[in-house]
Amino acid sequence: MAPFDGQGEAYVMAIRIATIMAFLVSILAIFSCGCRRAREYHESELPAVKPDYGRPLPPGAPALRLCAPGEIPDFSADLGDKTALIEAIGHNLAYMAKPSSKAHFPVQGITHERVTRSLEEFRRILKEAKTPEELNRMVREKFDVYMSVGWDGSGTVLFTGYCSPVFEASRTKTGEFAHPLYKLPPDLAKGPNGEPLGRRRADGSLEPYPTRMEIEKGRLLEGKGLELIWLKDRFEAYIVHVQGSALLKLTDGTEMLVGYAGKTDRKYVSVGEELVRDGKISRSEKSLKTIWEYFKMHPEEMDKYLYRNESYVFFQETSGGPYGSLNVPVTAWRTLATDKQVFPRASVCFVDTRVPVGYRNVTRPFRQFMLDQDTGGAIRSAGRADIYMGVGNDAMDLAGRAQSEGRLYYLLVRE
């Protein structure tokens, strides 16, 4: 056989290199497979990431995204109780008719005019639709449907509940009624959207408002004529702070409705979550009732836990309400509280989640049209929303147990 020339040597070298590469690839594949199996095994052993429903959106990130056709929910689930829903839409249209409402738009490119037209068109559809199927078809034809991106970017929203509790109260301080609700102090500064900015000093500059502990232990508001009403129980007063409104049965036989007037710029912290974190109550039994029972058994711990929530709320006497942050009446099971910095206020919404029933730890599906009419101290992200559940003890029981994930949709008339 003739000796290899240069071309033959190059050919052999190429074969050798190819053989070596094939061998290395096979080794790497085996190694990679083993590593992948090991990594999957270790990841399965890791604890689940705790949801951060209050996580703020990245700067400039939208809270809503347009749904693809396959993501749009079935709206035929809610054709009952049109009267309350149509009345609530009327309240929102009255708000949108005020020139001051225009200052809060656009939000994520959604204009004041589009939200107004959406309310009008949705009210028309509600009146015309005769069957659930017809309602579903008409909504899909006339509206673009947007979904909240949620806390995780994939649409997961935590829905909780709130209410207007009923408590006994007195217009004057007595030995029995010693826990005040305060009116809005004149040194609390607010921004153009009503957001708290802090305490305004005498020279006009701003500083953080004192914490709950500083206000109460330091008696910073006493003797300034800011006491609106006095309650019997300290935790009842705290519940009113969390719920934002209450119906009060006064000692003189009359009633007073109190509502939210403003809050400090301090962060809201859930006392229930703090008790769970410290192992005082289990997550499965966390409710307003169990929290209240815990403090009745351990009143000495009330300072420790209530003061972890540094936020403080102020009130005003109202009539014809209760009212939400839009200063329109709220409607049980139709009013939704959201973060007004990221969602278009007064809009038509659709909620798909679960809510409690009258039995402990039992829930039912909740797929219903709602109106974005309110906000709250804990509602500060695209991953949180609060359902208003009404007035009284039954509503307080349900609101105290409400905590389910779901999806939040906004309906905006097609342009």
b/e string for 257-268 if b means 16 or more Cβ within 10 A? bbbbbbbbbbeb
Does the pTM exceed 0.85? no
Using CA atoms, how far residue 54 sits from 171, 283, 367, in Å, is 37, 18, 23
* Domain range annotation of the chain: 159-348+377-405
pLDDT in tens, the chain (415 residues): 333 334 333 333 433 444 444 444 343 333 333 333 333 333 334 445 678 898 889 988 999 999 999 999 999 877 677 899 999 999 999 999 999 999 999 999 999 999 999 999 999 999 999 999 999 999 999 999 999 999 999 999 999 999 999 999 999 999 999 999 999 999 999 988 778 999 999 999 999 999 999 999 999 999 899 999 999 999 999 999 999 999 999 999 999 999 999 999 999 999 999 999 999 999 888 889 899 999 999 999 999 999 999 999 999 999 888 999 899 999 999 999 999 989 999 999 999 999 999 767 789 999 999 999 998 767 879 999 999 999 998 999 999 899 999 999 999 999 8
Residue 264's closest CA among 190, 191, 196, 187? 196
Asked if residue 197 lies in contact with residue 265, where contact means CB atoms within 8 angstroms, the answer is yes
Residue 309 — φ and ψ, nearest 5°?
-90, 100
Whether the CA torsion 212, 217, 218, 223 is positive or negative: it is positive
Phi-psi region of 327 (alpha: psi -120 to 50; beta: other; left: phi over 0): left
Among 356, 355, 380, 374, smallest CA distance to 366 is for 355
CA-closest candidate to residue 105, choices 113, 94, 117, 95: 113
Task: Please name the residues in contact with 12: beta carbons below 8 A apart, sequence gap of 6 or more.
Answer: 4
- How far from 26 is each of 12, 14, 303, 332, CA to CA, in Å? 21, 18, 65, 65
Handedness of CA 211, 213, 218, 221 (dihedral sign): positive
Side chain identity at residue 305, one-letter code: Y
Strand partners, 354: 365
CA distance 180 to 189: 22
Determine phi and psi for 400, rounding to 5 degrees.
-70, -15
User: Which pLDDT belongs to residue 206?
Assistant: 96
State the first-to-last Cα distance of the chain, in angstroms, to the nearest integer: 83
In this prediction, residue 166 carries a pLDDT of 96
Distance of alpha carbon 338 from alpha carbon 357, whole angstroms: 23
- CATH class assigned to 159-348+377-405: mainly beta
Would you state the pLDDT for residue 48? Answer: 53
Looking at 269-392, list the stretches that DSSP marks H as alpha helix, in order from N- to C-terminal side: 271-277, 288-297, 302-306
DSSP letter (8 states) at residue 211: P
